[in-house]
Amino acid sequence: MTNYIVRRVILNLFVIYLVGSLIFVLVRLLPGSFIIQRSGLDLAGLTEERIALAKAELGLDKSIGEQYVTYWADLLRLDFGFSFETRHSVVSELADAVPYSFELGVGILLVGLTISIPVGIISAVRQDEWQDYLLRGFAIIALSFPVFWTAALITIANLNFGSPLRLEVIAQPHVWEDPWAAIQWYIIPSFCGGIAGTASIMRVLRSELLEVLRQDYIRTAHSKGLAESTVILRHALQNAFLPVLTLIGLTLASLITGQIILESMFNIPGVGRELIEAISLRDYSMVQGIVLMVASVIVFTNLIVDISYGYLDPRVRFS
């Protein structure tokens, strides 16, 4: 087990190195630069001297090779640089954005699990009955609707039917600062993001439960006179939950990595919206810092999920 974890950690570090190198190259292949993007259409005042001074101040006057060496030397010291736009460190900018993405991600996860697990169990237990057809139809519809379409539809309905939910919260409060205002702000994007996750988890859980319910030990549990709920929850669900755990792991990664579409639509200053703004401004340090953080969260979340398999299912062995 220890050897497996060490190998996976080394592999994940190599993946992060590849991602970091790739994003370093890609952001510099984008047309334009921060200086030109920030100046907008007012290019008349950009003399060669001013451009050279700005590049020197931002460290863009060096060759690509020198920038690359400096980039990784800083990362090894856990120095992600500073934002060209705000002149604040990338770490401080992410520290401000991550809580918003985390709160939205928790809302999405709660909505998804609250709906998907009961729905998946009911659909499997009532296979080929009207409940199963109805719930599978819901899953197909939910998967076919893009998140932005669902969000726009619910927003229009909220406005037209006079819902008390506020779509614009000027103060942008956190849950611990103003719970009711934060709930009003997050409830629609959380529901929209949770619907897509609900459909995926529900379908996987249903198919796995159907396979488990046909096993001999389930029939033995029934023959012993155990209650239906006990057989499903204590025996079948545990063995059917491993593939679902993978999907939940990906959802957990989004708790920090953000939801670009939802954060942009609902003006949530999270990691996803920060990434879009940084790309549009060619803010190299911010783009690199955000992408590396996202990659790190995803690869190590997958590692945790893989390790969890061994504890949830004794049949899983790591060589």
Give 215's DSSP letter: S
- What DSSP designation does 84 have? T
* One-letter amino acid of 211: E
> Do 197 and 112 meet the contact criterion of CB atoms below 8 Å apart?
yes
Average pLDDT over residues 90-104: 86
Whether 205 contacts 116, CB under 8 Å: yes
For range 38-58, the mean pLDDT: 61
For 207-262, write each residue's pLDDT tens digit.
Answer: 888 888 887 777 787 787 777 777 777 777 777 777 777 777 666 666 666 578 88
Asked if the model's pLDDT at residue 188 lies above 50, the reply is yes
Question: Average pLDDT of the chain?
Answer: 77
Q: 14-28, 111-125, 190-204, 292-306 — which one is most confidently predicted on average?
A: 14-28
Indicate the pLDDT class of residue 161, thresholds 50, 70 and 90: low
pLDDT of 44: 53
Burial of 17 (0-12, 13-18, 19+ CB in 10 A): middle
pLDDT at site 73: 87
Specify the pLDDT at position 160: 61
Give the pLDDT score at 171: 54
Q: What percent of the chain has pLDDT over 90?
A: 0
CATH number (3.40.50.300, 1.10.10.10, 1.10.3720.10, 1.10.287.130) of 97-312 reads 1.10.3720.10
Query: Between 60 and 133, where is the model more confident?
Result: 133
Confidence of residue 192 (pLDDT cuts 50, 70, 90): confident
User: Residue 183's closest CA among 260, 191, 248, 156?
Assistant: 191
Query: Which residue carries 């990338």 as its tokens?
Result: 90
Nearest Cα residue to 266 out of 151, 107, 142: 151
Domain ranges of the chain: 97-312
Q: Bridge-partner residues for 82, per DSSP? A: 89
Asked whether the predicted pLDDT for residue 1 surpasses 70, the reply is no
Residues with Cβ within 8 Å of 20's Cβ and at least 6 positions away in sequence, in order, are 71, 72, 75, 288, 291, 292, 295
Res 179 pLDDT > 70: yes
What is the value of pTM for the model shown?
A: 0.74
Higher pLDDT, 20 or 319: 20
Using CA of residue 215, residue 216, residue 217, residue 219, what is the dihedral sign?
Answer: positive
Band of residue 287 on the pLDDT scale cut at 50, 70, 90: confident
pLDDT band at 169 (very low <50, low <70, confident <90, very high): very low
Neighbours of 228 (CB within 10 A): 10
Torsion over CA: 134, 137, 143, 146 (sign): negative
Q: Is the pLDDT reported for residue 45 higher than 70?
A: no
Q: Find the range with the poorest average confidence among 3-12, 30-39, 185-194.
A: 30-39
> What is the mean predicted confidence (pLDDT) over 157-172?
56
DSSP state letters, 166-177: -S--TT---TTT
pLDDT at 50: 63
Is the pLDDT reported for residue 265 higher than 60?
Answer: yes
